[in-house]
Amino acid sequence: MFEKLFSAPDDKIIKLMHTFSADPRADKIDLGVGVYKNKNGSTPIMHSVKKAENLLWEEQSTKSYVGLAGDFEFHDVMRDLILKNCVGEDCVAAAATPGGTGAIRQALELIKNTDPSTTVWISSPTWPNHPSIIGYLGIKQKEYRYFDYKTGCVEFENMLEDLSSAKRGDVVLLHGCCHNPTGANLKLDQWARLTEILLDGGLIPFIDIAYQGFGDGLDEDAAGVRYLVMNIPEVIIASSCSKNFGIYRERTGILMLVSHNKGDKIKNQKMLTYLNRQNYSFPPDHGARLVTMILKDPELRTSWEVELKSIQVGMLQNRESLALELCKQIGSDRFGFLAEHRGMFSLLGATEMQVDEMRNKYGIYMVSDSRMNIAALNLKAIHKLTEAIIAVKV
Ligand code: LMR
């Protein structure tokens, strides 16, 4: 049968990560994969994570199974982190998953199994793994306009126009904050107008929130999600702890089904548990346990929040420095949007040829759509990047 296997496509972000590693140039700059880097270019383990790991090593007495949906304490802390008290605990069913991607995959399987005629609407552009998984599962997908390449802003009226043609029961995949790849985000009044369109059209929001705390702050970044959850009867949420806890390889994520109909919780919980069993049985525990320990222990939590804040502020400084440097060098505010964007990424607006040229000539790696990892910049890289952007005439 192996001769019949189709040739699996590469993932452009992961492929770029390998190409970067293989590049022998000492002064190469990696603005590709979404991994935080400190000023020295490394991705350290957060202090709170290291401390929690030490404690766990001391205290944990068994590695036996936990539960098919993961540890309920993990559900509680994550529900509180993302939703605070905007809905009751009795409205939320949850399951731990292997990373945010695991949560997205489970949600899409649930959508497909429940109603195969559903169309999932995705932003144009979006994280490439969204259309990839949706296509792989054979689910129908359509794009809604999202990003205006000329202004670097959300094209909100066009987004609403596209979504108003969705049919009742369709699912709308939204980025909870820190839009990947563009960095352009909805403002709170836009979340409110979007909520009306979703309610009027009978559409179900599916929120992917993978960068909470990287934009404006933990609560600020969840404000749109909380608004939707308070106002829309059914919401799907996939969340990742990879970035804000820096535990990428531990594969820690969660899927939540929020229903205003309190009677739904038991059935929804059973479904999520069943889905986990079908795909991998028990979700990984290590990362979820560290997150639970950190969020429950006041000292660890403060340490985590302080470190996360400094990461967020560092990214804002990088944004401002890059926008300022470009403004100084080209004498216009054309790239001012870089300072307005939030989160780990910004879409520069370069062509694929310009991106190739920046990689080949300057050793600057960004994704082919010109997505840059802002968290990987430092002053030296900002100078070099500015030089390259001007030289290739973006
Ligand atoms: C990214 O967008 O670069 C990250 O989320 C890593 C990934 O899995 O693509």
**CATH architecture for residues 65-296:** 3-Layer(aba) Sandwich (3.40)
Residue 254, classed as helix, strand or coil, is strand
pLDDT at residue 82 in the model: 98
Q: What is the pLDDT of residues 269-316, one digit of tens each?
A: 999 999 999 999 999 999 999 999 999 999 999 999 999 999 999 999
Q: How far is the CA of 34 from the centre of ligand 1 (A)?
A: 5
pLDDT at residue 393 in the model: 92
Do 10-44+306-391 and 65-296 show the same overall fold?
Answer: no
Closest ligand 1 atom to residue 129 Cα is: 9
pLDDT at residue 40 in the model: 86
Distance of CA 376 to the CA centre of its chain: 17
Question: From the candidates 37, 51, 243, 265, which is the catalytic residue?
Answer: 243
Residue type at 336 in one-letter notation: G
193 phi, psi to nearest 5 deg: -70, -40
State whether the beta carbon of 276 lies less than 6 angstroms from ligand 1. no
Q: How far is the CA of 331 from the centre of ligand 1 (A)?
A: 34
Residue 66, classed as helix, strand or coil, is coil
**All structural domains of the chain with their residue ranges:** 10-44+306-391, 65-296
pLDDT at residue 389 in the model: 97
- Tell me if residue 219 is catalytic: no
State whether the beta carbon of 304 lies less than 6 angstroms from ligand 1. no
State whether the beta carbon of 180 lies less than 6 angstroms from ligand 1. yes
Determine the residue of 105, 129, 252, 366 to mutate for testing ligand 1's pocket, defined as the one with the most ligand atoms within 8 A of the Cβ atom: 129
State whether the beta carbon of 127 lies less than 6 angstroms from ligand 1. yes
Minimum CA distance residue for ligand 1 atom 1: 34
Q: How many CB atoms lie within 10 A of CB 197?
A: 16
Low pLDDT (below 70) residues in the chain: none
Residue 70, classed as helix, strand or coil, is coil
- Residues 234/258, Cβ–Cβ less than 8 Å: yes
Token pair belonging to 11: 């993932």
Q: How far is CA 38 from CA 218, 315, 365, in A?
A: 20, 10, 17
Closest ligand 1 atom to residue 367 Cα is: 3
Q: Does domain 10-44+306-391 have CATH number 3.40.1360.10?
A: no
